[in-house]
Each structure stands twice: as structure tokens, then as C-alpha cells.
Structure 1
Amino acid sequence: MTSETPNLPTPDQIRRSPKVLLHDHLDGGLRPGTIIELAHKVGYENLPETEADKLGIWFREAADSGSLPRYLETFAHTCAVMQTKEALFRVASECAQDLAEDGVVYAEIRYAPEQHLEAGLTLEEVVEAVNEGFREGERRARTNGNRIRVGALLTAMRHAARALEIAELANRYRDNGVVGFDIAGAEAGFPPTRHLDAFEYLKRENNHFTIHAGEAFGLPSIWQALQWCGADRLGHGVKIIDDIEVAPDGSVKLGRLASYVRDKRIPLEMCPTSNLQTAAAASYAEHPIGLLRKLHFRLTVNTDNRLMSGTSMSREFEHLVDTFGYTLDDMQWFTVNAMKSAFIPFDERLAMINEVIKPGYAELKSEWLFRQTVSTSGSVSV
């Protein structure tokens, strides 16, 4: 993408566009410098690099293995320095600030409280420290002229046995910063049906949840997440492409599961760069998001792990603009999809769409028309 291409948004316009993020892991988005400082404070000596730039490169290279289990191993270092209230508060605050600086106006950030208990914190203390950090980050963002709202998703690890406990925790804090529940971790061998008691509990409580499904495992994982567990959204869901047949003449036939996902408008939390790293897709051009967009699935664009992927919401959209020629209209479509699919009340979602997202894109489109006029005429009358 070049800034001279008049019909595509520029990198600056992409950064300034209002964006909505539904799939981002708190322990996957730390600043490398923060990791080093926190490691020094807690006496963690296993970091592979002690200079911020080199550490950031190490995380990205380690995550580029093409293996989801290897990708997940990088989190041992970030979780190791997130075991105190002070560390959790700082990481959450910086997360909100970094996203706001990138133009994100609403975000749902997920983390697993059970992974932050090694220094003696309780589950409740973890949640409260993170919530306080998000609120502080929102305040600091406003001071810098940026607007953002952050909600937390409490995650249970699918290989562990604490899903019901974490689901109950999410329900207790649902009116205090927590907007929903998730399960994460390696899919193969750990189906979502292992945690049916947690999902049945959340449904009885009329609470929201998403499930990592269809990232490294195929259609059975998606089917179980939807039909056995009742997920509101699919984390990734990229493997739904396996139920779509494209004929040599270009005609497309959807299988029963793919049709169900599209017909029911089930949101897919797509994370293009992360999917390349875990071999869920071979390249941006071959990523299923291109075909799924044409077929009008309810797609959202996300970062997954900003540190490991060396990415941001702006970078994700830049890749899509470069690859598929997406315009500001496409970006608005993805963003409205995400806001419609958020786990906050309907009236609050609608207000964000009508008062923040649509006006923001309308302003950017006016800029685009102005640039097009200048490009065509070579001059402007004032």
C-alpha cells in the first residue's frame, strides 16, 4: 500500500480510524521494556534477552514457528512477571493506553486469572488489579486525547480443571469490569466439551462467552463449541473454511456447518497475523478472511497477541488493505460487525456505533473524497 493510491486508506487514516478489538490476550501484549523491568523487580532471570528491542524480536521469532504449542510456550515469560497486583495493574493500564493510541475505541481483553497465582494472589485479587489497571489506562488515554472503553474476558485454560470456578468468578464480576468468559489453550486433545459444566452454568446465568475453536483444530471443534456448548462467538474459527467448497468455475458451496454459522450470524474473531504464525493460514492472500468476507460471514479483525505477532489493529488492517484492497467502507463493515458482537448491553453498543464509529469513518471518507478531488483536478478552489 502506498499513500499515493487515492482509493485506499493511508496508514495514517487506518491508525486514526475507530477500531473495535474483541480478541486480544493481556499476557500477549506486554511492552518488552515492561517485561524487563518487571523481571528485575521480581527476580525472574530466565528472559532470553535483556534489551527491549532484542526481546521484542525474540518473541516474534519464537512465535513464527508455525506450531500452536510452541507459540503458546512464549507466554511462560510474560506470565512469570505478572504475579503481583502492581504488575497486573501496570500491564493492564499500558494495554489500554497502547490500544487507545492505535485508535481502538472499544476492546475486550482476555486473560486467565488462574495463571497469576504463583506469588500468593487470590483469583479475586487478580481480577480487581486488572480491572483497576484498565480504568487507570482509560483515564490516562483520555488525558492524551484518546477515547477507549475496555472490558475483561476471564479465560479458563482448557487443559486444566478450573473452568466452572472461573465461570463463577466471571459472573460475580460481570457488573464490575468483566463482560464475559472464554476458554483457551491447545485445542487438540482438549475439546470444549470437557468444560460443559461451566458453559451450562453461564447459560443459566444468562452470561456471555466465547470459545477458542477452529484455530489449530478443525470442524469438530467448531461444531462442539456451538452445538454442545452454545458459544456466542468463535475465537478464530478460521477452520470453517474446511466446510466450504470452491469449484474450478469459482462457484461456492457451503456445508451444513458453514451455512449454520453464516445464517446464525455467529461472529468469527479473525486474527490474520497470528493465524499465519500458527499455520492456520499460509499467507495473508490465502487467509480465509478474503473468501469469508465475500460470502458475508460476520467477521471481525483482531490482534490475538500483539507482542508475539509484532502487530496492532492498524497493522492488521494495513495487511488486509494491501492484500485485498479493502477500503474505508470495508474497515467500517468489520468494525461495526465487532461492535455488534461485543458483550456489553445493546444500547451501549448502538451508541458506540452511532456516536463514535460511524461519525469517525464519515470524517475519514470526507478526507478520502477531498484527496480524490485533488488527485483528479490537481488543484483546489477555496
Structure 2
Amino acid sequence: MTSQTPSVPTADQIRRAPKVLLHDHLDGGLRPGTIIELAQEQGYQQLPETEPDKLGIWFREAADSGSLERYLETFAHTCAVMQTRDALFRVAAECAVDLAEDGVVYAEVRYAPEQHLEGGLTLEEVVEAVNEGFREGERQARANGHRIRIGALLTAMRHAARALEIAELANRYRDSGVVGFDIAGAEAGYPPTRHLDAFEYLKRENNHFTIHAGEAFGLPSIWQALQWCGADRLGHGVRIIDDIEVADDGSVSLGRLAAYVRDKRIPLEMCPSSNLQTGAAASFAEHPIGLLRKLHFRATVNTDNRLMSGTSMSREFELLTEAFDYTLDDMQWFTVNAMKSAFIPFDERLAMINEVIKPGYAELKSEWLFQQTATTSDSSRTAG
């Protein structure tokens, strides 16, 4: 290894590296202790565990169980305690603080306003509570010496019939903390084309949207999201690997859809740990992100549901580093990809890349070179 080639980063360097997160669900990232406290305040008595450590383990094991019913039950518990303004404010603020402490400098966090109306809140009150929570979390992060900016993505559930209403809501708050729109939920049986009116509306308004596609249902889901709906990004998109053929001699052939995705630089919001839980890959070493990185797709690294997967951005990069020997250069590549793909104005993305991300990685690389020089010097003195 030469001095121009940074080594595999340490866990501490990964944590300190500036990171960008595009795919993270607010109701999938609560602190276990917060869930318990909110449940006690609200009289919710359905939690499977009442101790934070045990509850965190329960969420991870339920998500790993292979049972769709049990997996969905996890969100029933988190959403159940997110039905008041104070609860939404707290969860959003803690989300910002937790991400900032993990080295995330920019994040787009999504949630479905329609799932937080059982306590009598309006859609607008839900959005405003979450936005205010994010701003408070950003302030707390700054006070703790961290820098983060959070944009919200408003999600519509694909099995419901409120997509246009949520799209209009996202457009109304686009200058007040909401940066885009998303649809989520089961892909099979609920194609994105059911919500064409929402996507057509957003395109007329020159607004941004991503679509959960290519996670479980495969290539048709990706094709519909892009060619029928016009998605700016693909939520997951991991099944694009089904349109890539690797021959015995190692040569690679891209199908028409995979070539289109790469040629058009369509961002893939990949969530490795989550993808393993849903069966998209058997292990990190076999995750499609390895090949997609080599082929220079616009791949990004994300968490999806930090609570259910027991993960963080640092954890995702640690596991990818173990699987593929990724260096700080690789981490920077994924991070710049994500920042280029964010739903904020170009000049603001460019400023984050040039003023925060690149200097942050340059400092870590210099630190590594200094450590290598010091190690070499110590070895020479010992040998002498």
C-alpha cells in the first residue's frame, strides 16, 4: 500500500467522517427509552418489553424474524406513541441529535403524516411539529459541537388513497423544511402507478420525489417508478442487480434498464442492513452495492430503520468496509454521491461538498498519512 492510498478506516475515523443520509424513516429510528417514556405518558400498554435494552433487542429480533406480520408490528408500536405534538417534536429532535453525533452532516428523514392523526392532530399540525423538532435538534447538535441539516420527506402509503393530498402538503411546506415526497409500503399489489395523479402534480410544481422501488418486487417496480412516474431517486433500487449479468470470466453486461439507470445517474438509496433483513442479499459480502460501486452507479449508503436494524450510518460503513475493504476514498465517493442527489438547491449541495465533506475527508486522510509516517519512523528506530 502506498502513501497515496488511504487504508481501511478505523471505527473512530468512520464515526468522525462527514456522512450524508437520504433514506431514513422517522418512525423507524426512535430511542427505546423514548418509546417507553412516551408509552407511559400516553397510557399505551401494548409494548412487548418495558426496559430499554430489552425493547431494543425485541425490535431487532422482530425485524430479523422473517415474519412480515411481526416486522410490521414493530411500526405499530412506534407509531402508537407518535400521536401528539409533543411526542413528534421530541422524536424529531432526538433524531437530529442522534444522527449528528454519528457524524451525519446532512439528512433527509421521511415519515407519513397520515399515520399520526389518531390523537386528533391535523396533517398540517403533524408537519409543523416534526419540522420544529428537527430545528430544535439541529440547535442541540450545534450546542454539542456537531453540525447537521435535516430536510423532511413526506411519505404517502401506497396501499392508501391519500397520495395527492400528501403531495400537495409537501408542496405547501417546501420552503419550510420539507424537501420532497415519497411513497412507501408493500410494493407487490400496490404499484406506484396507482398514484400517478400525485406524481403528475409534483412534476407540474417542479418538486422533488423519490419512490420506494426495487426492494422486494423487482425490475417492474423500478421501471414503473422511472418511466411512468418520473422518480428523481429510487428508494432501495437494489433489485437493479437482476438486470446485470456477470459472466464466468468476470465480464459484465448491463440490460437496458440497468444501463438507463447508470447512464442517467439515477441515485440508488441503498440500505444494506435492511436489505439483508428483507432477503435482498444473503450477506454484506454478497450485497449488490459491491458490484454497483465498481460499475459506478450512483449508489448511496443509508440506514432505512435504525431501530429495527440496530444500525447507524457508521455501522453501515463499518460493515461495508469489512466486506469490501473500502477506504476513506470509497466513503467519500458514497458521501459525495448522496450530497449530489439531495433535494436541496444546487448551490447549497455544492457548498456542503466543498466546505464540509471534502475538507472533512482530507483531514482524516492527512491524519492517516501522519500515523503511517510515525509508524514507519518508529519501526526504523527500532530496527536501528
Normalized against structure 2, the TM-score is what? 0.96
Q: Which amino acid aligns with 2:286?
A: E
* 1:227-266 equivalent positions in 2, closer than 5 A: 227-266=227-266
8 A contact 1:67–1:279 mirrored in 2:
no
Whether 1:168 aligns to 2:168 is yes
CA distance in 2, matches of 1:180, 1:380: 56
* 1:1-382 equivalent positions in 2, closer than 5 A: 7-66=7-66, 70-378=70-378
8 A contact 1:71–1:278 mirrored in 2:
no
Deviation, structure 1 residue 67: 5.2
**SS of aligned partner of 2:181:** strand
CA distance in 1, matches of 2:83, 2:272: 30
Deviation >3 Å, runs of 4+: 66-70
CA distance in 1, matches of 2:220, 2:103: 36
CA distance in 2, matches of 1:131, 1:380: 56
Relative to structure 1, is the Cα distance of residues 101 and 380 closer, same or farther in structure 2, using a 3 angstrom cutoff? farther
Deviations 1:164-183 (A, max 9, x none): 00000000000000000000
8 A contact 2:7–2:328 mirrored in 1:
no
CA distance in 1, matches of 2:69, 2:173: 31
CA distance in 2, matches of 1:107, 1:147: 11
CA distance in 1, matches of 2:19, 2:223: 29
Deviation, structure 1 residue 69: 5.7
8 A contact 1:93–1:136 mirrored in 2:
yes
Deviation, structure 1 residue 65: 2.3
Q: Which amino acid aligns with 1:219?
A: L
8 A contact 1:65–1:278 mirrored in 2:
no
**SS of aligned partner of 2:127:** helix
Deviation, structure 1 residue 147: 0.2
Deviation, structure 1 residue 133: 0.1
Deviation, structure 1 residue 72: 3.0
Deviations 1:215-238 (A, max 9, x none): 011000000000000000000000
Cα RMSD of the aligned pairs, angstroms, is 1.2
Q: Which amino acid aligns with 1:20?
A: V
Deviation, structure 1 residue 380: 9.7
Relative to structure 1, is the Cα distance of residues 326 and 69 closer, same or farther in structure 2, using a 3 angstrom cutoff? farther
8 A contact 1:69–1:186 mirrored in 2:
no
Relative to structure 1, is the Cα distance of residues 69 and 199 closer, same or farther in structure 2, using a 3 angstrom cutoff? farther
Relative to structure 1, is the Cα distance of residues 304 and 215 closer, same or farther in structure 2, using a 3 angstrom cutoff? same
8 A contact 1:66–1:276 mirrored in 2:
no
Relative to structure 1, is the Cα distance of residues 380 and 52 closer, same or farther in structure 2, using a 3 angstrom cutoff? farther
Q: Which amino acid aligns with 2:145?
A: G
CA distance in 2, matches of 1:7, 1:176: 41
CA distance in 2, matches of 1:373, 1:97: 36
Q: Which residue number in structure 2 is paired with residue 3 of structure 1? A: none
**SS of aligned partner of 1:22:** strand
CA distance in 2, matches of 1:302, 1:249: 32
Deviations 1:219-276 (A, max 9, x none): 0000000000000000000000000001111111000000000000000000000000
Deviations 1:109-140 (A, max 9, x none): 00000000001000000000000000000000
Using the TM superposition, name which of 101-110 and 368-377 deviates more. Answer: 368-377
Q: Which amino acid aligns with 2:372?
A: Q
CA distance in 1, matches of 2:248, 2:66: 29
Ranges in structure 1 where 5+ consecutive residues have no aligned partner: 1-5
CA distance in 1, matches of 2:70, 2:244: 29
**SS of aligned partner of 2:211:** strand
Q: Which amino acid aligns with 2:80?
A: A
Deviations 1:317-348 (A, max 9, x none): 00011100000000000000000000000000
Ranges in structure 2 where 5+ consecutive residues have no aligned partner: 1-5
Deviation, structure 1 residue 301: 0.2
Q: Which amino acid aligns with 1:352?
A: M
**SS of aligned partner of 1:47:** coil
Normalized against structure 1, the TM-score is what? 0.97
CA distance in 2, matches of 1:61, 1:39: 21
Deviation, structure 1 residue 71: 2.6
Q: Which residue number in structure 1 is paired with residue 3 of structure 2? A: none
Relative to structure 1, is the Cα distance of residues 219 and 68 closer, same or farther in structure 2, using a 3 angstrom cutoff? farther
Q: Which amino acid aligns with 1:321?
A: T
Q: Which amino acid aligns with 1:155?
A: T
